[in-house]
Amino acid sequence: MASSRVARGRKTQSLIAQWFRAHGWNTATSTEAFLSGKDIRNVDGFSIEVKATTAMPILTAITQAQNNADTGDIPIVVWRPNGYGETRISEWVAATTLEHMTALMRGQQQ
């Protein structure tokens, strides 16, 4: 049986996949816990790593997303802080490098 920490992580991944499906990535899926690679699949152009932890080792998580990225993917880390349940999913933190954030912002201006 999975610990509550592991169960929370799996649930968080599932919620993020649902979030992306509801926002236009209709085939976004959560990766099974025993598989390596991206936590969320089928979000073209992005390598998404999901964390549901007390403390957020941001550089480690971004490196993990970068290592799982396909060529050209933007690494994104989504973090669910303690106390932020499903009803606050839009407030969960998403992070990337400044280089990639600048590219995303530039894309919004076009």
pLDDT in tens, 15-33: 999 999 999 999 999 998 7
User: 8 lies in which domain range?
Assistant: 4-109
> Is the model's pLDDT at 1 over the cut of 60?
no
| Number of independent structural domains in the chain | 1
CA 38 to chain centre: 8
> Is the model's pLDDT at 56 over the cut of 60?
yes
State residue 3's pLDDT score.
81
Q: Give kind and range of the element (H or E) at residue 41.
A: strand 40-41
Regarding predicted confidence, which is higher, 107 or 24?
A: 24
56 burial level (CB within 10 Å; 0-12, 13-18, 19+): middle
> What CATH number is given to the structural domain containing 47?
3.40.1350
